[in-house]
Structure 1
């Protein structure tokens, strides 16, 4: 896969190794025709609210790339506000895959993700000669793709970008983000999904697993109960909002712990990079969108760009499986 991306980055010519076979004539066999360059794949990881989607889009506007969603809730149709799906404007013309494709009442499994993501990666590389960037908070999806999809590591050279924010700082931002979601219609969005008869409210299935849906159940039931007065409903709603914030913060903590585990697990890979965005969040004023702040560009986007630029300039080779098995 050849991607010419930057005039400031020299292409490095890497010669495939020669394998010596001691025969009667002591010839050296050049296996160059049997070596192929590994295709490149980038992963943008991080806890909820750290700006993974924004960074993926920022990078995709600088490289010929397309984005594959790796969030297990954003894969479902609906609940755009609650699941914080990127808008058409925020996409800035960058194609997105696996975003809002699954029936909200279905169960989109890890195996489903591996199958769909592998197909998307192949179509982006082979069909469009572009760079696949996987972005999302479901680290179990990423781990499964990298480790369980047959021949994934054999076929692809991977680069991992971890957008990290100190948890105390992130927790405050996440709480404020829930407030903004409420202003943008979160409750009404969940209300439209709610089944008053309770028959379709399976909170362990599909999009109803999203944080914010089960927490609002008691309020939506109180809303329909004529014996519950407005003061009681208001109290129930406040408790639900507090629970949404608490559970979102817990999710961020679990996600960060999982990334730490993967970092240690994949320590042998040189292409695992932590991008510290804490200072960006510290500079926020009055809930200003971090993506518009100069600090985001300087501390997050530019270092990430340099990492990916260097990653793409390096060639990694693989020996075709048929020849590898025959020779070794």
Structure 2
């Protein structure tokens, strides 16, 4: 993927009818290219942000930057719902599972590393796609005191929205799936009776809820052990639903109070469906509309047509640096 922009240059130069070896800045750097482009995928937990970011990155030459404050840590892949290698479709993901799980990774840490990732991706003629549920990270990155990212980049915000009652049912089912995948043993391996649940990855929903169970399980009979485990799982479901509500409220505040231009994509019908119907609904109600929005944001052309344009931008930068 790193060589993508250079390989497309001959085709692009023919398309633009530019004589070989001649670079005319008024032709190659029109006004619309003076600011780089960044896409940000937002939404409450469980709404499919990772999936949409991958869908978009398969349509446009892009790389993905994680903005989930728990997925940034190493470990607890089930609890934090990290995207699997197979799901990544070979696409590079940045800031995913890179931080020490025992040390706080702050918003300032995130801004520094995410800014570097955006610059690296963009410098290679690719589209940075930031995706994740931690709106405090995104807000800190976008609205820092100097507005450094906003001054350099045009930003397109996509919000995957799902009706809360529908999302709460889905989240509860997802927690049950996580349990069947081995979440309890994953958390047990991290359990330490002296642990601080306000630091690092132990802040993740799905970790502190099991503390009482792990402390007591060896001293309980089967019935009381099962009861305590059930209570812990219910706490995980309840706290995840509360998180989804807070995330929804934060996005709404960014849109209404701070005036962010956020494109809302309603995915409720996707989560009301199942099987092939859900897949079709995702394609028609989420993937296609989002792809159209991003295509328009990148210059009003289709995903296929945008590939050489982005490649040309990468070529220009390399020439200017040389």
Common fold by TM > 0.5: yes
1:57 positional shift: 0.3
Using a 3 Å threshold, how does the CA distance of structure 1 residues 222 and 264 change in structure 2: closer, same or farther? same
Name stretches of at least 5 consecutive residues in structure 2 with no aligned partner: 17-24, 302-322
Name stretches of at least 5 consecutive residues in structure 1 with no aligned partner: 17-31, 316-328
Query: What pairs up with 1:5-154 in 2 under 5 angstroms?
Result: 37-126=34-123, 128-148=124-144, 150=146, 151-154=148-151
Partner residue in 2 for 1:301: 287
Query: What pairs up with 1:233-252 in 2 under 5 angstroms?
Result: 233-252=225-244
1:308 positional shift: 0.3
Partner residue in 2 for 1:178: 175
Deviations 1:195-235 (A, max 9, x none): 1xx22x1100000000010000111111233xx21211111
Classify the secondary structure of the residue corresponding to 2:129. strand
Partner residue in 2 for 1:325: none
Deviations 1:91-125 (A, max 9, x none): 00110000000010010000000000000000001
Using a 3 Å threshold, how does the CA distance of structure 1 residues 185 and 268 change in structure 2: closer, same or farther? closer
Q: Does 1:281 align with 2:278?
A: no
C-alpha distance in structure 2 between counterparts of 1:167 and 1:59, whole Å: 25
Using a 3 Å threshold, how does the CA distance of structure 1 residues 152 and 314 change in structure 2: closer, same or farther? farther
| Greater share of helix | 2
Q: Which TM-score applies when normalising by structure 2? A: 0.82
C-alpha distance in structure 2 between counterparts of 1:80 and 1:162, whole Å: 24
Partner residue in 1 for 2:196: 202
Classify the secondary structure of the residue corresponding to 1:68. strand
1:314 positional shift: 6.0
1:268 positional shift: 6.1
Q: Which TM-score applies when normalising by structure 1? A: 0.80
Classify the secondary structure of the residue corresponding to 2:287. helix
1:283 positional shift: 1.3
1:161 positional shift: 0.2
Q: Does 1:258 align with 2:245?
A: no
C-alpha distance in structure 2 between counterparts of 1:238 and 1:129, whole Å: 50
Runs (4 or more) in structure 1 with deviation over 6 Å come to 32-36
Query: What pairs up with 1:306-321 in 2 under 5 angstroms?
Result: 306-313=292-299
Counterpart selection for 1:192 from 189, 194, 198: 189
Q: How many residues align?
A: 278
C-alpha distance in structure 2 between counterparts of 1:259 and 1:170, whole Å: 16
Classify the secondary structure of the residue corresponding to 1:159. strand
Using a 3 Å threshold, how does the CA distance of structure 1 residues 93 and 273 change in structure 2: closer, same or farther? same
Using a 3 Å threshold, how does the CA distance of structure 1 residues 120 and 149 change in structure 2: closer, same or farther? farther
